[in-house]
Amino acid sequence: MITIINPILRGFNPDPSILRVGDDYYIATSTFEWFPGVQIHHSRDLVHWRLLTHALTRPSQLNMEGNIDSGGVWAPCLSYHDGVFYLIYTDVKSRIGAFKDTHNYLVTATDILGPWSEPIYLNSSGFDPSLFHDDDGRKWLVNMLWDHRKGRNRFAGIVLQEYSAEEAKLVGPVRHIFKGTDLKLTEGPHLYKRDGYYYLMTAEGGTEYNHAVTMARSRRIDGPYEVDPRNPVLTSAGRPDLPLQKAGHGSLVETQTGEWYMVHLCGRPVRDKLCNMGRETAIQRCYWTEEKWLRIDGGGHEPLVVVQAPQLAPHPFPPSPARDDFNRDTLGVDWSTLRVPADEAWLSLRERPGFLRLKGRESLISRHRQSLVARRQQAFNCTAETCVEFEPEQYQQMAGLILYYDTKDYIYLRITRDEEAGKCLGIIRSVGGRYDEPMDCDLPIEGVTRCGLRAVIEREFVQFWCSLDGSDWSPVGDKMDVAHLSDESPDYIRFTGTFIGLCVQDLSGARKHADFDYFEYTEQA
């Protein structure tokens, strides 16, 4: 028996929306403040997956400069009808406190690879919008409704409104079709139609350790909806022994062979409920009962690590190369930048062929114009390595290798210049927004033109290394705890994951550049 091993999309890949078009399967996932927006993954067998493309590649589609941490793109929904792909997404501008500014948009394309259209604004009444194409040709938008008022249920339920493709806007009345179950925190709605029922799948319990998938159904799209008597359909709540935690936010697909699967987000803690890689995507095999309710294969509620694959021919993809020598004119699909797109004003692969040139801009706490390019951490144990050429003139100029969660939490092996030590190498970090320099003193590297930098991550710890001659490697500082680079924070909820990348800062405004010769990312068992 061929099996699927979860998670299928490792590292920060939450809120999956799955779609089948012919023999091809696609999953869209949230990208939050990272650009380009919305990762789209591809499979032919539900076992093997590759990152195929991104949908939102232009600032006119997604302008996130100034967006808060864990703002930006939430919970995309990918659908297809009459030769057109539809992608719905939220751009979250504020999220802390009573109010949330959540603007919902639609883009379309006739090819999954794009180009995707300019966005059509839909509404801002809540987040997690989803588009349903009914068999009578009508299209319906559902989203959760946010209620800021004191003493109210802020997750106020699910609302429905018709979308007119001809007029490119929402039309008709807004209907409040579902208030949620006792699990509360109702969000992530998706509509499906089967055997005369409209099925409303929602995420409930909050996107942490009480997260769940729930189901309700109705003969009418606008309700009333009958709640599944065995809800939740899927959850990890109350089972700290399970390898996959936080199970929820599901999305359904039927294969060509009539088999049903649900993708959902999950988390894998390194320790103490801390998930450095953020929320990932897993998949479960499902079936429908005689009473026409959805169940996880095996009849339980818990997410499984090993799942039976569908009756489809295996379709593996070539592995992604571990090393990027920066020999192309554009960045590879695994790279992301913070809030703004890569452009020649600050990132160039042409000015010095075979090198990535980054020009220093704002600091690591900036929500506007950082010069940082990074990729997801996708394994508990991994190594990242680069070689950089950088000649700082003063301490406000820095460049190096970084482990980055957000503006409050990062660990940075950086080259800079000190009045006494001269050109030097050391570590700076931020834990919950508290800046620190954990080494007693930086390592002098005056006269070293090329400096190798390496980070070795073993679950919740990192050890930095450097090479000053291109062959011998020496540790820099002590092994450090990186568990704070996780979704969980004592002060606030956040939703992304650890990135490993390259960055340059020039706080003087002189835009001093650094040249990176290569970047290599490898995973260990």
Cite the beta strand spans of 134-196 per DSSP E: 139-146, 155-164, 169-178, 187-194
Helix intervals (H) in 317-421? none
* pLDDT tens profile 266-320: 999 999 999 999 999 999 999 999 999 999 999 899 999 999 999 999 999 999 9
Strands 245-254 and 279-288 turn out to be unpaired
| Closest among 430, 444, 435, 438 to 477, alpha carbons compared | 438
Find residue 106's DSSP bridge partners.
88, 120
Dihedrals phi, psi of 352, to nearest 5 degrees: -135, 95
Query: What is the pLDDT averaged over residues 141-147?
Result: 98
pLDDT, residue 490, reads 75
Q: Tens digit of pLDDT for each residue in 258-279?
A: 999 999 999 999 999 999 999 9
> In this prediction, what percent of the chain has a pLDDT beyond 90?
98
Helix (H, G, I), strand (E, B) or coil at 119: coil
> Nearest CA to 129 among 141, 140, 147, 137?
141
Would you tell me how many other CB atoms lie within 10 Å of the CB of residue 311? Answer: 12
Residue-range domains of the chain with CATH: 3-308 (2.115.10.20), 323-524 (2.60.120.200)
Q: What are the pLDDT digits (tens) for 480-507?
A: 999 999 998 877 789 999 999 999 999 9
pLDDT band at 337 (very low <50, low <70, confident <90, very high): very high
Contact criterion met (CB below 8 Å) for 178 and 186? yes
**Contact, 246 vs 236, CB < 8 A?**
yes
- Catalytic residue ranges: 15, 187
Which pLDDT score is estimated for 493?
85
Strands 499-506 and 371-376, bridge-based pairing: antiparallel
Residues 261, 283: contact at Cβ < 8 Å?
yes
Q: What is the pLDDT of residues 385-440, one digit of tens each?
A: 999 999 999 999 999 999 999 999 999 999 999 999 999 999 999 999 999 999 99
| Cis previous bond, 189, omega within 30 | no
